[in-house]
Homo-oligomer: A and B are copies of this chain.
Amino acid sequence: MDRAVTISQVAALAGVSTGTASKALNGRGALRPETRLRVQQAAEQLGFVANAAARSLQTGRTYTVGMITTDSIGRFSIPLLIGAEDALGAGQMSVFLCDARDDPIREQYYLRTLLSRKVDGIIVTGRRTQARQPIGRDLPVPVVYAFISSADERDCSVVPDEADGARRAIRHLLAVGRRRIAHVTGPEHHHSAQVRAAGAVDTLAAEGLGLATPVLYGEWSEAWGRQAAGILLSTGADVDAVFCGSDQVARGLAEGLRDAGRAIPGDIALVGFDNWDVMVDGSRPALTSVDMDLEGIGRSAAEMLLAAINGEPVHGHQARPCRLVPRASTAV
């Protein structure tokens, strides 16, 4: 069963010492090409794979990073995970996944475990309404925050530029000829809702325009979207487009408007936020939406972590632009 091949077996087969075998396999030292080859073949033949524990004990590097999702692993974490795992895997690093479930105790527990495992770095991710407290002070390894941001400005945080997303949504609506734009979004206390709303207002202001109605704050759900449709229509406001704070809100709104006999995009054009496939494709018509490129954020965070591990830390908040994906709900 447990037939772990060690480097001394490889060395014995190749007729060299373990030290020489190590050098041969790692391309170090001064060896005859012929010897190097003999060792490599022996390793191949025995199926030798170096014991990572032994190696890291000696070198101090583990080629391992920890990834802590502070809230549960959810819809937003997955693309981040994938992106990070992608960038790290290419650098031969493995990822420890830790799901802290919004529990500070679990979080600290995981932090301890990761440190005891001597990870080379840590990525902290998750969904939060506000910037979060740093996960620890004076940690012996670099930390990068992805999607959420650290309250400490010196920490490296990679976040989507949500104001940019809002700007793109509004510009797009203006470009397709809409002028009387409303904004329906999530809870007012939610940072994303605030930033997106402000971004929308600012962009309109730059064109000498304003929102057609005050911002409608609610929750991040389809139900609220449907409800908002009623509110919007009952105000009698003359609206020819709605920028929604999320795809779910937009989908609900679309349903509500359709039920009330409004044509989309004929009467009212619609833009969502998140570019969540099941929502944008399930909506009728398909939903134009703002994509935050979460996978790119995950990848980018991982790259910055790698840089920090290699002694070139990046500090401060990195805001990454969004992308607008046009679909039928804003077709001309």
> Which A residues have a C-beta under 8 Å from some C-beta of B?
1-4, 49-54, 56-57, 60, 62, 64, 67, 72-74, 78, 81-82, 85-86, 89, 92, 94-99, 112-118, 138-140, 221-223, 248, 251-252, 255, 278-279, 281-282, 284
User: Measured between alpha carbons, how far is A96 from B117 in the docked complex, in Å?
Assistant: 12
User: Measured between alpha carbons, how far is A324 from B221 in the docked complex, in Å?
Assistant: 24
Determine if B94 and A113 form an interchain contact, defined as CB atoms under 8 angstroms apart.
Answer: yes
| Other A-B pairs beyond A4-B118, A89-B99, 18, CB < 8 Å | A2-B60, A3-B140, A4-B140, A49-B115, A52-B53, A52-B116, A53-B54, A53-B57, A53-B62, A57-B57, A73-B78, A81-B99, A94-B117, A95-B98, A221-B281, A222-B282, A252-B282, A278-B279
User: Measured between alpha carbons, how far is A98 from B85 in the docked complex, in Å?
Assistant: 8
User: Measured between alpha carbons, how far is A252 from B284 in the docked complex, in Å?
Assistant: 11
- Which residue of the partner chain, among B78, B92, B248, contacts A78 with CB atoms under 8 Å? B78
Determine if A97 and B95 form an interchain contact, defined as CB atoms under 8 angstroms apart.
Answer: yes
User: In this complex, what residue of B is CB-closest to A115?
Assistant: B49
- Which residue of the partner chain, among B3, B112, B115, B222, contacts A281 with CB atoms under 8 Å? B222
Residues of B within 8 A of A139 (CB): 2
User: For A98, A112, A117, which residue has the most chain B Cβ atoms within 10 angstroms?
Assistant: A117
User: For A57, A78, A223, A282, which residue has the most chain B Cβ atoms within 10 angstroms?
Assistant: A282
User: In this complex, what residue of B is CB-closest to A54?
Assistant: B57
User: Measured between alpha carbons, how far is A98 from B81 in the docked complex, in Å?
Assistant: 10
Offer 18 A-B interface pairs, CB within 8 angstroms, sorted by A: A1-B138, A1-B140, A4-B140, A49-B116, A52-B53, A52-B116, A52-B118, A53-B57, A54-B57, A78-B78, A85-B97, A92-B113, A95-B96, A96-B96, A222-B281, A252-B282, A278-B278, A278-B279
